[in-house]
Structure 1
Amino acid sequence: MKSGFLAAAAAAVVVSASVAAGAATLDTVKQRGFVQCGVNAGLPGFGNPDSAGNWTGLDVDYCRAVAVAIFNDPNKVKFTPLSAQQRFPAIQSGEVDLLSRNTTATLTRDTSVGLNFAPVTYYDGQGFMVPKKLGVKSAKELNGATVCVQSGTTTELNLADYFRANGMSYNPVVIESNDEVNAAYFAGRCDVLTTDVSGLAGTRAGVAPVPDDHVILPEVISKEPLAPAVRHGDDQWFDIVKWTVFATIQAEEFGITSKNIDEFTNSKNPDIQRYLGTTPGMGKALGLDEKWAYNVVKKVGNYGEIFDRNVGPGTPLKLERGLNALWTKGGLMYAQPFR
């Protein structure tokens, strides 16, 4: 009996501690009055300040979406620009509440680094960009090339694996700062720039002196599922970030946009009623207002709107949906049920 009582008491302590930990980040954010979000220091289309200091980008919009879910205000967020080397210490130490910075979800980052990854917001893969004047058509023609690559990233490891697997040699120019990597490439210090294809598109569109002078080769050599991340040990906060991402994807599947969402408030569809909060329960489960998903889409948009606004065919990046299309349209974007 004594051992059973002690086991029950210990379990109660664990549950109590978990509940306390689960509320910690949300309480801190509410008391502070804004979400502190770690973003890229300057990647067009994903995280980039304009000349007036206003942040834009796909990753930035997900920071705003979380702020809307909590405060119903997309401006209740402050951005901390982080390099690849700074991002993990910043989230681990509590300097930021949320990391939304073109970060690849991997096993070791999920475990030893101590991150929980929300749903993928952009399915990507590593590629190569070269000056058009070199006449290179394929990555298989890069034997002996000098390659600019950022240190402390999955990119550096993938690069080594790809060249070794294909029996090719290369000369790496490894640089810590993304801006310095780009500068080295455009200054001619290397023949090739390698990073995620989305990053190459952003660099070509926003950094290259003459974008048309550079070509992105067709090979994609890795899987790079880019996703927001939070610290281990705070389930409620993780749930809020996770379901905020799902809310944007589900809205697009329903056909709900920021412009037509009010037309759906009288829908007889039970799934839509739960989603929009006209049938209560989803908000309470997260510790949020019942209209949190409505507010997110109304003020930030569905996934398609976020994609098109920041990186789609109508932007300088000119990226097609591809794997980032809805699952109903041949892509991988799929939201878990709101029920």
Structure 2
Amino acid sequence: MIRRLAAALLILALAGCDGGSKPAPAAAPSNKPAARVEAHYKATPSKVLNTVRKRGYVACGVNPGLPGFAYPDVRGNWRGFDVDFCRAVAAAVLGDAGKVRFTPIPARDRFSALQRGEIDILSRNTSWSYSRDTGLALDFAATTYFDGQGFMAPKALGLTSAQELSGARICVQAGTASEDNLADFFRARGLTYKPVVVASEAEARRLYENDGCDVFTADISALAGSRSVLNNPGAHVILPDVISKEPLGPVVRQNDPVWADIVRWSVYATILGEELGLSSKTVTQARETASDPQTRRLLGVEGDYGAMLGLSKDWAYQIIRQVGAYHEIFRRDVGAASPLKLDRGLNALWSAPKPGLLYAPPLR
């Protein structure tokens, strides 16, 4: 008992030694805004980018000849939708959209040519699929065109649906997703058909036009391109059936993520350009007068987003100035100003009056 009493007296004595001081009051909350932390990024070196700069041009693999997407004009200059996205990358990394060399590649060789390093980008109406993305050591950088597989037939046959094609001879290109989709479509419905397998779109067109097959199947955009160069385009109809999803876009090797980002954001720069109301004709003035932070960031007036990819500040400005925003590329190559006259459809902006699937992440 004596020990407990002594301990209690000692505690009371020690407590009284602080001179009766009160606990310090809590700090009053500050109304001042927190200081903004600026992140400083250093670009990870890209082997492909370094090679391209030393070489002086982008090596791009394209379709040997698909109207609207990739084809040499009468002067031998490459034109088309897929071609323009190669030019966009060249504008971003070299400051000159003309510094591209195009290699026409058959469908069966397109992935191996990229894997072997013969090209830097494959921009060849190629569909993004699970097995291609995961099994070939390749990356699909972005979707430039949302498509689907369809069928073209002579109007004279009076067909209204692909369900009426049982027993038909159908031209299809070897080594493409179209070949597998065709087999799946008929098997799922218990229908029969005779595949006429060809090596190229050009051969399929020739056979189809000369009664070598009854129907031609491919991506609908490719069918529209093929129809535009037939002797009598009006005598052929694309059936309303869409039997697959075909997101088309550029492909790169999987071992250089920075190069993949460069190609991806070169595509997105064209989409953001359309979203912000920019065009090749207005972008120079916008760079001088724009007050909108998004526009200023995209055009390199504010911040240095190019440095994150090892590019100059004006990389996106050069894309839009030299190649155009997405709506310009679409219109001249496959849209209203082209022989294909394709509607925007799924390829309209997400914010359009008739919304599509086209969407780019924010640049911030």
**Aligned with 2:236 (options 214, 221, 229):** 214
Give the deviation of 1:280 after TM superposition.
2.4
What corresponds to 1:164 in structure 2?
A: 187
Aligned partner of 1:233 in structure 2 is 255
Q: Provide the C-alpha distance between the structure 2 equivalents of 1:196 and 1:249, rounded to a whole number of angstroms.
A: 22
CA contact (8 A) 1:83 1:177 kept: yes
The residue identity in structure 2 corresponding to 1:336 is: P
1:193 aligns with 2:216: yes
Give CA-to-partner distance per residue, 1:264-301, whole Å, 9 cap, x none. 22222222111111112211111111001011000100
How high is the TM-score relative to the length of structure 1?
0.92
Deviations 1:68-87 (A, max 9, x none): 00111111000000110110
SS at match of 1:111: helix
| SS of residue paired to 2:104 | strand
Name the SS of the counterpart of 1:188 in structure 2. coil
Corresponding position: 1:62 with 2:95: no
Aligned counterpart for 1:268 among listed residues 291, 298, 306: 291
User: Cα offset for 1:21?
Assistant: 8.9
Query: Quick check: 1:128–1:193 contact (8 Å CA) kept in 2?
Result: yes
Match in the other structure for 2:362: 337
Which ranges of 4 or more aligned residues in structure 1 deviate by more than 6 Å?
A: none
Superposed displacement of residue 42, structure 1: 0.2
1:29 corresponds to which of 19, 32, 52: 52
Between structure 1 and structure 2, the one with the greater Rg is 2
Residue of structure 1 in register with 2:328 after alignment: 305
| RMSD of Structure 2 on Structure 1 (CA) | 1.3
Partner of 1:123, secondary structure, is: strand
> Residue 101 of structure 1: CA displacement?
0.5
Give yes or no for the alignment of 1:126 onto 2:172: no
Equivalent pair of 1:22/1:234 in contact (CA under 8 Å): no
Partner of 2:268: 246
**Larger displacement relative to structure 2 (134-143 or 321-330):** 134-143
Shift of 1:104: 0.2
Mapped partners of 1:315, 1:24: distance in 2: 37
Contact 1:115/1:231, CA 8 A, preserved across alignment = yes
Q: How big is the shift at 1:167?
A: 1.9
Residue deviations 1:97-130 (CA, integer Å, cap 9, x gap): 0000000011111111111111111000000001
Given the alignment, which residue of 100, 108, 112 partners 1:85?
Answer: 108
Distance 1:26 1:103 in 2: 23
1:51 maps to which residue? Answer: 74
1:179 aligns with 2:202: yes
Q: Which ranges in structure 2 are unaligned for 5 or more consecutive residues?
A: 1-41
Secondary structure class of the residue paired with 2:318? helix
Q: What residue in structure 1 maps to residue 25 of structure 2?
A: none
Deviation, structure 1 residue 135: 1.3
**What are the Cα deviations for residues 211-264 of structure 1, in whole angstroms up to 9, with x where unaligned?**
111111011110000010100110111111000000000000000111111232
* Matched AA of 1:257: S
3-state SS of 1:271 partner: helix
CA contact (8 A) 1:37 1:96 kept: yes
Tell me by how many angstroms 1:22 deviates. 4.8
State how far apart, in whole Å, the 2-side matches of 1:270 and 1:314 are. 32
1:31 positional shift: 0.4
TM, length-normalised to structure 2: 0.86
* Aligned counterparts of 1:120 and 1:320: Cα–Cα separation in 2: 17
Counterparts of 1:178 and 1:309 in 2: how far apart (Å)?
22
Q: 1:108 to 1:64 in 2, by over 3 A?
A: same
Give the corresponding residue for 1:7.
none
Per the alignment, residue 143 of structure 1 pairs with 166
Q: In the aligned structure 2, how far is the partner of 1:260 from the partner of 1:20?
A: 30
Cα distance in 1 between the residues matched to 2:304 and 2:182: 47
Following the alignment from structure 1 to structure 2, what is the Cα–Cα distance between the partners of residues 136 and 162?
A: 17
Cα deviation digits, residues 16-47 of structure 1 (max 9, x gap): xxx99952100100000000000000000000
Amino acid at match of 1:165: A
Paired residue secondary structure (1:86)? helix
Q: Give the corresponding residue for 2:64.
A: 41
SS of the residue corresponding to residue 195 of structure 1 reads strand
Instruction: Give the counterpart letter for 2:79 in structure 1.
Output: T
Letter paired with 1:140? Q
Alignment gaps of 5+ in structure 1 = 1-18
Asked if the contact 2:43–2:310 (Cα under 8 Å) also holds between the matched residues in 1, the reply is no
Aligned to 1:9: none
Counterpart residue identity of residue 222, structure 1: S
For the 8 Å contact 2:205–2:226, the answer to whether it is kept is yes
2:112 aligned counterpart, secondary structure: helix
For 1:99, the equivalent position in structure 2 comes to 122
